[in-house]
DNA sequence: CCCGGTTACGCTTGTCGTAAAGATT
DNA sequence: AATCTTTACGACAAGCGTAACCGGG
């Protein structure tokens, strides 16, 4: 189970072709074939069907492990490298779309900062593997509870802000004139699932008895404005931080009364924080909003 | 960053000796020396001090990654192996001490079941790496919230039971006659930290504003009776499931009123569940206590 | 001087590329 | 017939063990 073999395996699985994987990895076709053969011999199981090329059940199972594994491996390498490396001169800050809030915009105007907006799930990985120096992630959580983040690496975590949640309804919606709504009252409604840009519905469901709101439309992308437009146009409901929902321009924002959830933003930072990164982190982290 | 090199590195770090690690791993001293040299060359950093042998700061950082990494690697191997292997004839069930509750004892009298009580943190690893077929873990959580478990591998999770919490006080304690207590009232008290046997205090602290109760005495071991005896003798307070605290025989159990936490038990099971394991899992998982 | 880690060297094994063969659409 | 994977084989590098070396208590 050499990491190289694993890397080849995921490349072949993703591309559906030995030769394409070989091109991508800078090997010959032959080497790729040998890698897969070695893996299959090691695990004593077929991992790929040939012609067409695709993972077998065992291969699917292995793929589920391979991703996190290779990620952690990169994270480990990046982490020790950071210890020796000089503090970066230009900071790269990774943030999920809704983590870009007023607090960040206030602090940002520092020289040499790059803001990189990523899908929520990729932010921890980006920080862990050294692609970014700091990360800001957001998500739903019980008040003053930490977010449930995938632990790709031992990262430092600090709460940055917590904000009320609201549902963005189209103007004519029966609940649009209410002062607040309960999620269970909207359980049968159509929701837009936007795990990258909006709040992940699956996380919200964990707090409810049921499996959470059922999505009707899925939006992949990181543009919050487009998401708001969809919701205002009546394609489905969206859960957003209250200020964002109210600033949407169209649609009606109704605060969420139950379950007791907040929109929480957290700062992620790698172990050995030095220089400008440490300074920015200190400014961001100190007052965790009530 | 070959896993073999990593394995050698953690062995050397743990044993504090190249030769001892060589004996343990079945290599020669020389090979171990070469392994470490290769790792240090690869990462371009010293990882170990020699004479005495111990990890450098970079080595410490790498060690934090190496453990989970090697664990995941074993988990991956075990997971695909389980797909091909025949369903086990004798089930091995891993459980943290407080996960052994009435529900389990009711169901257990099946033929060929081994119950293995492990420290809480080791249960997920035992299930993931195939040492055990099923796992039962417990911990504090907000009502109907899943536990925060380290994700060593993609394991199946199912809620099994939730129970009230209580503080076990010595007989003469000022709060001993109360009907219920709030944790913040006891914030200044002396607590026993028993992460293996009792409830992990750090997890409880996450729900509070402060860093959680400060431990005074630390108990390492998995014997709940001994822990209760310590608490009853006045060495510190202990947080326990209410039934356990009440059955302690000595001391006084006072239910916890705030924060709203419950003692939650969850079943862990690997992906391809077959045969007797699937049957037992089905019996255990179906009615998640309110 | 002894214990323990490092270095040198030879052998074995593994890994890659080239090229020919085999299989599938 | 064309495309893509597998197999054969030779060159090269990597990994391990034996043994000599070296540095600190």
Which of residues B203 and A68 earns the better pLDDT score? Answer: A68
In chain B, positions 9-48 with C-beta closer than 7 Å to nucleic chain C are 17-19, 29-30, 33-34, 36-37
pLDDT tens across A69-94, in order?
999 999 999 999 998 887 888 889 99
Residue of B nearest to A147 (CA): B148
- Kindly state whether residues B111 and B238 are assigned to the same domain: no
User: Cβ–Cβ of B77/A1 closer than 8 Å?
Assistant: yes
On whether residue B80 sits in a domain, the answer given is no
On whether residue A85 sits in a domain, the answer given is no
CB atoms < 10 A from the CB of B22, how many? 21
Give the number of A-B residue pairs with CB atoms closer than 8 Å.
99
- Kindly state whether residues B150 and B275 are assigned to the same domain: yes
- Kindly state whether residues B107 and B242 are assigned to the same domain: no
**Within chain A, where are the H helices?**
3-15, 18-25, 29-43, 57-84, 102-107, 122-128, 201-205, 224-232, 242-246, 275-285
Q: Which residues of A135-153 are buried (b: 16+ CB within 10 A; e: fewer)?
A: bbbbbbbbebbbbbbebbb
User: Cβ–Cβ of A207/B81 closer than 8 Å?
Assistant: no
Q: Report whether B29 contacts B22 (CB < 8 A).
A: yes
Spell out the residues 6+ positions from residue B285 whose beta carbon is closer than 8 angstroms to its own. Answer: B158, B159, B160, B267
- Kindly state whether residues B175 and B219 are assigned to the same domain: yes
Residue B111's pLDDT is: 67
Residue B83's pLDDT is: 87
Q: Report whether A222 contacts A196 (CB < 8 A).
A: yes
pLDDT tens across B206-226, in order?
444 455 666 678 888 889 888
Please indicate if any CB of chain A lies within 8 Å of the CB of B69.
yes
On whether residue A86 sits in a domain, the answer given is no
On whether residue B225 sits in a domain, the answer given is yes
On whether residue B257 sits in a domain, the answer given is yes
On whether residue B290 sits in a domain, the answer given is no
Domain boundary among B75, B101, B121: B75
Nucleotide nearest to A40 (CA to C1'): D6
Query: Shortest Cα distance from B107 to chain A (angstroms)?
Result: 25
Q: Find the CATH number of the domain harbouring B31.
A: 1.10.10.10
Residues of chain B contacting residue A72, judged by C-beta atoms under 8 Å apart: 65, 68-69, 72
Domain boundary among B29, B48, B75: B75
User: Cβ–Cβ of A272/B1 closer than 8 Å?
Assistant: no
Q: Which of A36-50, B13-27, B274-288 is least confident?
A: B274-288
**A190 dihedral zone (left: phi>0; alpha: psi -120 to 50; beta):** beta
- Kindly state whether residues A183 and A251 are assigned to the same domain: yes
On whether residue B84 sits in a domain, the answer given is no
- Kindly state whether residues A70 and A211 are assigned to the same domain: no
pLDDT tens across B108-122, in order?
776 678 899 999 999
* Length A30 CA → D14 C1' (Å): 20
Which H/E stretch holds residue B42?
A: helix B29-43
pTM (two decimals): 0.87
User: Cβ–Cβ of A76/B65 closer than 8 Å?
Assistant: yes
Q: Quote the CA–CA distance of A159 and B278 in Å, as a whole number.
A: 40
Q: Report whether B191 contacts B201 (CB < 8 A).
A: yes
On whether residue A81 sits in a domain, the answer given is no
Query: Shortest Cα distance from B56 to chain A (angstroms)?
Result: 11
- Kindly state whether residues B56 and B109 are assigned to the same domain: no
Q: Quote the CA–CA distance of B93 and B104 in Å, as a whole number.
A: 11
Please indicate if any CB of chain A lies within 8 Å of the CB of B143.
no
Residue A74's pLDDT is: 95
Please indicate if any CB of chain B lies within 8 Å of the CB of A143.
no
What would the DSSP string read from start to end of A158-227? Answer: EEEEEE-EEEEE-TT-TTTT-S-EEGGGGTTS-EEE-TTTS--HHHHHTTSSSS-PPEEEE--SS-HHHH
- Kindly state whether residues A172 and A255 are assigned to the same domain: yes
**Polymer length of chain B:** 290
Spell out the residues 6+ positions from residue B188 whose beta carbon is closer than 8 angstroms to its own. Answer: none
- Kindly state whether residues A178 and A225 are assigned to the same domain: yes
Q: Report whether A154 contacts A114 (CB < 8 A).
A: no
Residue B207's pLDDT is: 45
Q: Report whether A243 contacts A104 (CB < 8 A).
A: no
CA angle B260, B283, B116 (to 5 degrees): 80
Q: Find the CATH number of the domain harbouring A193.
A: 3.40.190.10
* Length A55 CA → D1 C1' (Å): 29
Cβ of A56 < 7 Å from strand D?
no
| Structure letter (DSSP) for residue A147 | P
In chain A, positions 20-39 with C-beta closer than 7 Å to nucleic chain C are 26-31, 34-35, 38
Domain boundary among B51, B75, B99: B75
- Phi and psi at B22, nearest 5°, equal -60, -45
Please indicate if any CB of chain B lies within 8 Å of the CB of A43.
yes
- Provide the number of structural domains found in chain B: 3
- Phi and psi at B96, nearest 5°, equal -75, 155
- Kindly state whether residues A191 and A245 are assigned to the same domain: yes
Please indicate if any CB of chain B lies within 8 Å of the CB of A145.
yes
Residues of chain A contacting residue B64, judged by C-beta atoms under 8 Å apart: 154
Query: Which strand C nucleotides have any atom less than 7 A from protein CB atoms?
Result: 4-8, 15-20, 24-25
What would the DSSP string read from start to end of B17-31? Answer: -HHHHHHHHT--HHH
Please indicate if any CB of chain B lies within 8 Å of the CB of A260.
no
pLDDT tens across A2-37, in order?
999 999 999 999 999 999 999 999 999 999 999 999
Range of the domain at A35: 3-75
- Kindly state whether residues A151 and A179 are assigned to the same domain: no
Please indicate if any CB of chain B lies within 8 Å of the CB of A50.
no
Q: Quote the CA–CA distance of A55 and A97 in Å, as a whole number.
A: 33
- Grade residue A269 by pLDDT with cuts at 50, 70 and 90: very high
- Kindly state whether residues A60 and A175 are assigned to the same domain: no
Query: Shortest Cα distance from A154 to chain B (angstroms)?
Result: 7
Q: Quote the CA–CA distance of B165 and B199 in Å, as a whole number.
A: 10
């Amino acid at each position: 189970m050499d990491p190289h073999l694993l890397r080849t395996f995921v490349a072949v699985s993703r591309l559906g072709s030995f030769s394409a994987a070989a091109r991508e990895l800078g090997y010959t076709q032959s080497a790729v074939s040998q890698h897969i053969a070695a893996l299959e011999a090691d695990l004593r199981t077929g991992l790929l069907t040939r012609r067409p090329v695709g993972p077998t059940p065992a291969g699917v199972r292995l793929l589920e492990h391979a991703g996190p594994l290779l990620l952690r491996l990169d994270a480990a390498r990046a982490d020790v490298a950071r210890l020796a490396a000089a503090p970066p001169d230009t900071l790269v800050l990774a943030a999920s779309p809704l983590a870009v809030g007023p607090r960040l915009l206030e602090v940002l105007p520092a020289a040499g900062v790059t803001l990189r907006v990523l899908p929520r799930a990729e932010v921890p990985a980006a920080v862990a593997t050294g692609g970014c120096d700091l990360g800001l992630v957001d998500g739903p959580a019980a008040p003053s509870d930490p977010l449930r983040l995938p632990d790709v690496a031992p990262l430092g975590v600090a709460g940055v802000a917590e904000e009320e949640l609201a549902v963005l309804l189209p103007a004519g919606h029966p609940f649009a004139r209410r002062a607040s709504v309960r999620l269970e009252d909207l359980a049968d409604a159509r929701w837009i699932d936007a795990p990258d840009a909006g709040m992940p519905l699956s996380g919200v469901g964990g707090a409810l008895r049921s499996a959470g709101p059922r999505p009707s439309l899925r939006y992949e992308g990181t543009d919050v404005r487009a998401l708001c437009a969809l919701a205002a146009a009546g394609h489905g409901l969206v859960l957003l931080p209250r200020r964002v929902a109210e600033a949407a321009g169209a649609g009606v924002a109704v605060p969420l009364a139950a379950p007791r959830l907040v929109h929480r933003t957290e700062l992620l930072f790698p172990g050995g924080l030095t220089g400008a990164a440490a300074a920015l982190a200190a400014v961001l982290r100190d007052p965790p909003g009530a």
